[in-house]
Structure 1
């Protein structure tokens, strides 16, 4: 962990923090967009530092800064909890002072305990992680997400020096999250600003051609009529199916599967009716 050499400390005033890029384009997750740095103030447990580093690695962040941290040994808890972040995020973490963070970044302080109204200026107003994501989309500036101590968090004096406050909505009976959990939740919500691509496949759905959808509706109506339903029930159920498919936006493959199913069902019903007529047997009874 760096920070002992004064020449490597965060520069003050108008300097751009190392690693920040000039924005190009409007894509929030563009590689050229400056990603937030993560700051942990006086962490007490090395394992929580490792957990935060791992969450950063999961969600596309790499710049970790620590204010008065404990010793982080390579054979210790922090590296054990960091996963693959032990390879870069954790060993490259920089030790800084709280004053340096305030001087060089647009700062977002995190807290579980918020003010209930505007009389608590240190903890009100506050944003949820989702609201913070939308707010930061509109601003491309060196930004620091600041987490406090495990037991006490950030105090009012520290929060009063930060630009914004963020709090994770939780059960009123127990709103305080573990430091590593809080960081993971918040960084997950900010992923649109920090992650270009995920491991998830493309979820864009291409709706089946309308001609195929209408063919299905025709088959479904034939099916309803062949089962002996009364006319008003046929109309009602046909409309319900139309509304259902309208909301579902079925794919071409899905509609083709349904077409094949109802084509076979209608053929069997037609064959049954033909046999009933041939052998003078009652057909499927119609409702009256």
Structure 2
């Protein structure tokens, strides 16, 4: 996004919700309408295709275009749209800016913002994360409005929209390409639009403490077998305990470590046995 349009950009500690509260939140999410995406006078079919693809990635399906270029099925838009060429792009509606303003709670996107309240069109503005939290309370059809590649949404257009959103970027070059800006914003909005992602549950279940303590026992045996002095072994054993305490190893991880150190200790014991049997020097010890 460039010119006047910075696409929108990016802020724990509450108690766990009860089952009733979680159910209510789920019902609210189900009732909440997914935003539509509006692009005002896009100049490049490829950017329209990129936005359609980002919509498909993040659970949005309703694309509306104000005075768009021709979108041929053998052209850039369909080439850039990925699987969105199957539904989002061919089902896009052509609308007027007036229709969008009249029928939706609107959020305009801009790269250039007001630094204080003297610029009423561009201040105050929200980042994408702030916008996501704000829209959780909006029970109305909502439209995310993007402007032109070259100059974005102008002040007159922004003045007719309900909210303004901007992506924080480096002050030396804050202007994003239109397709990039849409992708960043829709990604940050995903909690409102995506029920499940391809990523597995990231909650980590710590290994049972009995297994963790078994590992520490194996590790102390290993340190003893390597011939370290007592105070060094004690220090290293403590460091390992602190390390695992911070890491919260999973059951699979701790079992892997248990197997590794079990084999290492067995080999070291066998080496000591052979050294004693054949009257060879033992494993070198620290002096």
* TM-fit CA distance, 1:169: 2.3
How many Å separate the matches in 2 of 1:232 and 1:30?
58
Match of 2:62 in 1: 63
* TM-fit CA distance, 1:93: 1.6
Match of 1:227 in 2: 226
> 1:37 touches 1:64 (CA, 8 Å); kept in 2?
yes
Segment of structure 1 superposing worse, 229-238 or 133-142: 133-142
Match of 2:32 in 1: 33
> 1:111 touches 1:166 (CA, 8 Å); kept in 2?
yes
How many Å separate the matches in 1 of 2:28 and 2:216?
42
Match of 1:105 in 2: 104
Match of 2:239 in 1: 240
- CA 1:279–1:80 in 2, change beyond 3 Å: closer, same or farther? closer
What TM-score does the superposition give when structure 2 sets the normalisation length?
Answer: 0.83
List alignment gaps of at least 5 residues for structure 1: 1-23
How many Å separate the matches in 1 of 2:111 and 2:285?
65
How many Å separate the matches in 2 of 1:123 and 1:83?
34
List alignment gaps of at least 5 residues for structure 2: 1-22
- Cα RMSD of the aligned pairs, angstroms, is 2.2
Cα displacement string for residues 82-105 of structure 1 (whole angstroms, at most 9, x for unaligned residues): 222222212222222222222222
SS for the counterpart of 1:145 is strand
- CA 1:270–1:129 in 2, change beyond 3 Å: closer, same or farther? same
* TM-fit CA distance, 1:62: 0.8
1:115 pairs with 2:114? yes
What TM-score does the superposition give when structure 1 sets the normalisation length?
Answer: 0.83
* Structure with more contact order per residue of length (Cα contacts < 8 Å, sep ≥ 6): 2
How many Å separate the matches in 2 of 1:188 and 1:244?
34
Match of 1:6 in 2: none
Question: How many aligned positions are there?
Answer: 265
- CA 1:103–1:58 in 2, change beyond 3 Å: closer, same or farther? same
SS for the counterpart of 2:150 is coil
